[in-house]
């Protein structure tokens, strides 16, 4: 019970400190949102009146407390630039980002798992060296550079994938909205041509977004597999007549998978909230593209709500991973009972 209370308090403190830091940093950006809305030729009286109506004349701490109260009661404010409720803007953009992030996570996890198994089983051979070189490039290459290189190679040179057109081609109509995921909705409504077009536009940005995440997962999983590769229990398993590959895949992998489980939760959260550059380059109509436009227009309400949701999302994902970790590894449950 004490461990649960401690984790809840730690999660609340993380959300609070993240919110405060981002709130202060956003307000420290040069410029006046009221002046941006009214334009440079607006009279000072009109600007001052708008600042008062927006609450920009109040002390910073008071504005922060009011913001937290409004956010957790469902009032996320209005966009300075469009005049629409922030919840409406984010709800319209969240599903494209979820579709891109989940697809990228599947690519990242699947690619890392396959490469780690082959690389560790064929250690110090050509495939292992090639996979390690690939992981070094993946962890060091910035997303905007990878996006541009992918477009140059696979769009302009090879014509394998479409360019920055968004979620569908110019001649395609979106499927009826059921889940908000074009690839899923088109299948549910039996629109297979739309499904093919949606997948065709999804593969390249998802692969680019998954590249650094897959490289990081690969290195972590490979290190864990090497740690259990020569353990005595594998020798016993092989002594029972099981082939080395089956013993490695069925017995070494589950034991090496636990550290990767925690990292997978963090990477999933990063893919969902960290696709700003990839979405902007590929013209993907998700939250990332909206945030870039909001930062350029000093639309603090939208940016702050996004950061707040990201912080809450990270805390929720970490909590789910922690629960899953306890279900998978009985040693953690036993340790918790002893400490209790």
Q: Looking at residues 251-278, what average pLDDT do you find?
A: 77
Residue 179 lies in a domain: yes
Least confident of 50-54, 88-92, 98-102, 336-340: 336-340
Band of residue 320 on the pLDDT scale cut at 50, 70, 90: confident
Give the per-residue pLDDT at 152.
94
Higher pLDDT, 134 or 121: 134
Shared domain for 215 and 107, answered yes or no, is yes
Residue 52 lies in a domain: yes
Shared domain for 310 and 191, answered yes or no, is yes
Shared domain for 56 and 143, answered yes or no, is no
Give the per-residue pLDDT at 186.
93
Q: Is the dihedral of CA 130, 132, 133, 135 positive or negative?
A: positive
For the chain, what is the mean pLDDT? 82
Q: Is the dihedral of CA 169, 174, 180, 186 positive or negative?
A: negative
Give the per-residue pLDDT at 339.
47
Query: What CATH number is associated with residue 266?
Result: 1.10.3720.10
Residue 164 lies in a domain: yes
Q: Is the dihedral of CA 11, 15, 20, 21 positive or negative?
A: positive
Higher pLDDT, 145 or 328: 145
Residue 157 lies in a domain: yes
Residue 135 lies in a domain: yes
pLDDT digits (tens, 9 = 90+) for 193-208: 999 999 999 999 999 9
Residue carrying structure tokens 């009279």? 43
Residue 81 lies in a domain: no
Range of the domain at 302: 92-332
Higher pLDDT, 99 or 294: 99
Residue 338 scores a pLDDT above 50: no
Give the per-residue pLDDT at 336.
52
3-state secondary structure the chain: CHHHHHHHHHHHHHHHHHHHHHHHHHHCCCCCHHHHHHCCCCCHHHHHHHHHHHCCCCCHHHHHHHHHHHHHCCCCCECCCCCCEHHHHHHHHHHHHHHHHHHHHHHHHHHHHHHHHHHHHCCCCHHHHHHHHHHHHHHHCCHHHHHHHHHHHHHHHCCCCCCCCCCCCCCCCCCCCCCCCHHHHHHHCCCHHHHHHHHHHHHHHHHHHHHHHHHHHHHHHHHHHHHHHCCHHHHHHHHCCCCHHHHHHHHHHHHHHHHHHHHHHHHHHHHHHCCHHHHHHCCCCCHHHHHHHHHHCCCHHHHHHHHHHHHHHHHHHHHHHHHHHHHHCHHHHHHHHHHC
Give the per-residue pLDDT at 332.
56
Shared domain for 167 and 298, answered yes or no, is yes
Residue 85 lies in a domain: no
Shared domain for 58 and 104, answered yes or no, is no
Shared domain for 58 and 106, answered yes or no, is no
Shared domain for 53 and 141, answered yes or no, is no
pLDDT digits (tens, 9 = 90+) for 103-132: 999 999 999 988 888 888 777 788 888 888
Q: Looking at residues 145-162, what average pLDDT do you find?
A: 91
Band of residue 233 on the pLDDT scale cut at 50, 70, 90: confident
Give the per-residue pLDDT at 256.
74
Give the per-residue pLDDT at 4.
66
Residue 87 lies in a domain: no
CB neighbour burial string for 36-54, b if at least 16 within 10 angstroms, e if fewer = ebeeeeeeeeebeebbeeb
Shared domain for 31 and 166, answered yes or no, is no
Q: Looking at residues 265-282, what average pLDDT do you find?
A: 82
Shared domain for 25 and 126, answered yes or no, is no
CA distance 91 to 51: 27
Shared domain for 132 and 265, answered yes or no, is yes
Give the per-residue pLDDT at 203.
94
Give the per-residue pLDDT at 195.
93
Shared domain for 146 and 174, answered yes or no, is yes
Higher pLDDT, 47 or 147: 147
Shared domain for 151 and 291, answered yes or no, is yes
Portion of the chain with pLDDT greater than 70, in percent: 93
243: burial class by Cβ within 10 Å (0-12, 13-18, 19+)?
exposed
Portion of the chain with pLDDT greater than 90, in percent: 16
Q: How many separate domains does the chain show?
A: 2
Give the per-residue pLDDT at 149.
92
């Amino acid at each position: 019970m004490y461990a649960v209370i401690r984790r809840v308090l730690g999660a609340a403190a993380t959300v609070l400190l993240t919110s405060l830091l981002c709130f202060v940093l956003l307000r420290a950006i040069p410029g006046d949102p009221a002046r941006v809305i009214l334009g440079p030729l607006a009279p000072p009286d009109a600007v001052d009146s708008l600042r008062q109506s927006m609450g920009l004349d109040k002390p910073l701490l008071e504005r922060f407390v009011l913001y937290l109260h409004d956010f957790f009661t469902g009032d996320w404010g209005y966009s300075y630039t469009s005049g629409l409720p922030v919840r409406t803007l984010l709800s319209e953009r969240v599903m494209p980002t979820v579709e891109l992030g989940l697809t990228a996570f599947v690519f990242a996890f699947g690619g890392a798992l396959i490469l780690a198994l082959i690389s560790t089983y064929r250690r110090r051979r050509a495939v292992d060296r090639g996979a390690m070189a690939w992981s070094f490039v993946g962890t060091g290459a910035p997303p905007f550079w990878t996006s541009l290189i992918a477009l140059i190679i696979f769009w302009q040179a090879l014509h394998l994938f479409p360019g920055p057109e968004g979620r569908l081609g110019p001649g395609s109509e979106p499927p009826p909205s059921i889940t908000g995921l074009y690839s899923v909705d088109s299948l549910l409504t039996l629109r297979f041509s739309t499904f093919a077009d949606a997948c065709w536009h999804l593969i390249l940005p998802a692969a680019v977004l998954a590249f650094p995440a897959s490289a990081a997962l690969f290195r972590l999983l490979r290190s864990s597999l090497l740690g259990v590769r020569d353990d005595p229990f594998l020798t016993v398993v092989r002594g029972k007549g099981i082939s080395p590959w089956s013993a490695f895949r069925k017995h070494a992998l589950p034991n090496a998978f636990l550290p990767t489980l925690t990292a997978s939760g963090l990477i999933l959260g990063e893919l969902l909230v960290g696709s700003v550059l990839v979405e902007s380059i590929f013209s993907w109509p998700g939250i990332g593209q909206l945030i870039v436009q909001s930062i350029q227009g000093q639309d603090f309400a939208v940016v702050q709500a996004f950061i707040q949701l990201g912080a809450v999302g990270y805390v929720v994902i970490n909590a789910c991973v922690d629960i899953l970790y306890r279900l998978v590894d009985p040693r953690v449950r036993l340790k918790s009972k002893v400490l209790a």
